[in-house]
Amino acid sequence: MNKGSNVAGDKFPASAMPDGDWWRALWPDPEGVLRCLGVDFGLTILDLCCGDGHFTAPMAHIVGGIGRVMALDLDSDLLERAKDRAEAAGIPSTAIRWLQCDACSLINSVPSHPDYVFIANTFHGVPDKQQLAREVFNVLKPGGQFAIVNWHHRSKDETTVLGQPRGPETKMRMTPEAVMDEVLPVGFRLHGIVELPPYHYGIVFDKPKVS
């Protein structure tokens, strides 16, 4: 596993990896989610804050090839779990580069410029969202895409999974408009918004070819 130059960063608030049972119930088809968001064969993709890899192995399955997925997280234990899951899913060990790094210092940590950056279930907790979006902008290839998967701005009481309210506190949840307010000033353009029932949306931004 590559250790980035800065592994001493702080974890974002409300970014703990959820328990597997309700996470699998909420996200039964991670590959379908990725395809809805435009992830496709041949892309080089960064799974930013990948956690225990719920989306990472499906990503590697879609894009194929060697080293086209970079999976980044601050937490070495979660990265080990993600690695085991990818192995169990039959993904060759050469397909994914594992990066133990702080998401706030991407430019020093990511070994190549991706076509696509994916962040799920984490952006709501990032203290300086515009700065993170700037980091992503700087690391992406021109013409690349940035996808954010977020809980809808609904009361936590309403977002039950396996009989219990789940997800971040209501006040941390963001509307797509609030995400745009953070991301568009950096230079991205809105590509589209996709519903991800029952409780999420995905919002995809383009980095212009010439900025």
Ligand X SMILES: C[S@@+](CC[C@H](N)C(=O)[O-])C[C@H]1O[C@@H](n2cnc3c(N)ncnc32)[C@H](O)[C@@H]1O
Residue 161's contacts (CB-CB under 8 Å, 6 or more residues apart) are 22, 25, 26
Amino acid at 66: I
**Nearer to ligand X (CB atom), residue 8 or residue 210:** 8
| 136 token code pair | 């992503």
Query: Residue 10 or residue 157: which is nearer to ligand X going by CB?
Result: 10
Least distance from ligand X to the Cβ atom of residue 115, Å: 19
Measured CA distances, 188 to 48, 108, 200 (Å): 17, 21, 21
Listed ranges 98-106, 109-117, 133-141, 171-179: which one lies at the site for ligand X (CB under 6 A)? 98-106
The residue among 11 and 113 lying less far from ligand X, judged by its C-beta, is: 11
How near is the Cβ of 209 to ligand X at its closest, in Å? 28
Nearest residue to ligand X by CB is 51
Instruction: Determine the interface stretch with ligand X among 34-42, 72-80, 135-143, 192-200 (rule: CB under 6 A).
Output: 72-80
Q: Which is nearer to ligand X, 150 or 188 (CB)?
A: 150
Q: Is 75 in the site for ligand X (CB under 6 A)?
A: yes
| Contact between 33 and 149 (Cβ < 8 Å) | yes
Q: Residues 46, 96, 99, 102: which binds ligand X (CB under 6 A)?
A: 102
Roughly what angle, to the nearest 10 degrees, separates helices 176-183 and 129-139? Answer: 60
CA 177, CA 29: separation in Å to the nearest integer?
Answer: 26
- On whether the CB atoms of residues 89 and 30 are closer than 8 A, the answer is no
Does residue 4 bind ligand X (CB under 6 A)?
no
**Nearest-angstrom CA–CA distance, 211 and 208:** 6
* x-marked contacts with ligand X along 103-132 as a string, rule CB under 6 A: xx---------------xxx----------
How far is the C-alpha of 94 from the C-alpha of 28, rounded, in Å? Answer: 26
Q: What's the closest the beta carbon of residue 79 comes to ligand X, in angstroms? A: 9
Instruction: Report, in Å, the least distance between residue 37 CB and ligand X.
Output: 13
With CA atoms as reference, report the closest residue to 120 among 17, 207, 189, 42: 17
What minimum distance in Å lies between the beta carbon of 60 and ligand X? 15
Give the residues lining the site for ligand X (CB under 6 A). Answer: 9, 11-12, 15, 17, 49-51, 54-55, 73-75, 78, 102-104, 120-122
